[in-house]
A and B are shown apart, each in its own frame.
Chain A
């Protein structure tokens, strides 16, 4: 299914996912100690250059990912201006924009399979307290496989709802959607057991 990341072979794509995540974590922590808005503006400029170093298209995609954040930032800034704290407000907003755009940068330049691999590796110490990682990997795969199926089925249900003369998709399609999923779940569980089951 469609991931957010974009294919490419730039330096950012070639950097190891683990390294990118670690860098993101470290920078996020450091950011909370930067309280000067001039410094934050400089960092933001650096982030924009980071995007541009890959390509202009990536910067545009990055900007489109920021669109939902726009009104949140405006709202936060408005509250601070209302209290006469414009500088404090702009520091909060700048920090927020930097954090989100850096995190998006990591997502955009990392393959989903690499992210999952890292995620399962990070979970592997759970074995010591008796939690198996295998079933978690299986569950991740199942969600990726079934989500498009469920979205399609929801679409079919709303189509048949409209075919009966009712214009808008109504909450009433949720019940049949859940019933079919519950039936599927029993069959999938049976199929898994028939193939030797999951651990334990």
Chain B
């Protein structure tokens, strides 16, 4: 009980810390914010339920008025834009990332984390964010997709990083991968 709550709270803090880091620069020189990487790591390390709860906790504090989103944004206003589909999709993305981890126990942790991150952090997340943007901005599928495409390469790289990081966390702290307990 205590361990679960502390893990959920600290991982919510980690998502915030990753978003407030100066933009990380990848080998290729593309700057990315690490916040959605935080979502992937939350889901894959904590598992479906705890991962989603950590993200909901993070979003609750953002809505209540803390500037925890990438770039120091926050407050109720960020939830009323057509981009908010990403925010509402975050906990569901973490849930599915964790779900994949929990149901692929015969696959190595790092590899499963990569698959979970792609399923949750890309397919599920964009599956929510694109229709949400279409409704909010009143544009058609092609236009919505065109707006989102520039972010996809960064997200694929983040899924690969999630795979590497979760694999390494597992090697040094196997007990921390709650999704495989």
**Which residues does chain B contribute within 8 Å of A4, judged by CB atoms?**
65-67, 74-75
Query: When the two chains form their complex, are residues A169 and B41 in contact, meaning their CB atoms are under 8 A apart?
Result: no
Q: Is the CB of A115 within 8 A of B2?
A: no
Question: Would you list which residues of chain B between 65 and 104 have a CB under 8 Å from chain A?
Answer: 65-68, 71, 73-83
In this complex, which of B24, B37, B75, B81 has the most chain A Cβ atoms within 10 angstroms of its Cβ? Answer: B75
Contact at A103–B80, with CB atoms within 8 Å? yes
Contact bitstring A109-146, B, C-beta under 8 A = 1, else 0: 01010011001000000000000000100111011101
B176 with A182: CB separation less than 8 A: yes
Residues of B within 8 A of A79 (CB): 137, 139, 143
Q: Is A94 an interface residue (CB 8 A)?
A: no
- Interface residue? B156 (CB, 8 A): no
B21 within 8 A of A: yes
Residues of the A chain whose Cβ atoms lie less than 8 Å from the Cβ of B176: 182, 185
Contact A146 B13 (CB under 8 A): yes
Q: Evaluate contact between B73 and A197: CB separation under 8 angstroms.
A: no
Contact indicator A28/B80 (Cβ below 8 Å) = yes
Query: At the interface, is chain B mostly helix, strand, loop or mixed?
Result: helix
Q: Is B152 an interface residue (CB 8 A)?
A: no
A192 sits at the interface (CB 8 A): yes
- Asked if B119 is at the interface of the complex by the 8 Å CB criterion, the answer is no
Contact of B10 among A24, A112, A170, A185 (CB under 8 A): A185
Any B CB within 8 A of the CB of A26: no
What is the interface size of chain B, counting residues whose CB is below 8 A from a CB of the partner? Answer: 60
Interface positions of A (Cβ within 8 A of B)? 1-5, 24, 28, 65, 68-69, 72, 75-76, 79-80, 88-89, 92, 96, 99-101, 103-104, 106-108, 110, 112, 115-116, 119, 135, 138-140, 142-144, 146-147, 149-151, 153-154, 158, 168-171, 174-175, 177-179, 181-186, 188-190, 192-193, 197-200
User: Complex Cα distance A101/B68, Å?
Assistant: 19
B172 within 8 A of A: yes
CB distance from A157 to the nearest CB of B (A): 10
Contact check, B169 vs A192: say whether CB atoms are below 8 A apart. no
Cross-chain contact of B76 among A103, A181, A190 (Cβ < 8 A): A103
Interface membership of B12, Cβ < 8 A: yes
Residues of A within 8 A of B143 (CB): 79
25 contacts between A and B (CB under 8 A): A3-B67, A72-B81, A79-B137, A79-B139, A88-B138, A99-B77, A116-B64, A119-B64, A135-B5, A142-B5, A143-B58, A147-B13, A147-B66, A150-B13, A154-B17, A169-B25, A171-B34, A174-B41, A175-B165, A175-B168, A175-B169, A185-B176, A189-B3, A192-B2, A192-B6
Known: A103-B75, A169-B22, A169-B24. A189 touches B6 (CB 8 A): yes
Q: A72-B82, A107-B75 are in contact. Are A112 and B17 (CB under 8 A)?
A: no
Q: Provide the B153-169 mask, 1 if CB < 8 A to any CB of A, else 0.
A: 00000000100010011
User: Can you name the residue of chain A whose Cβ is closest to the Cβ of B58?
Assistant: A143
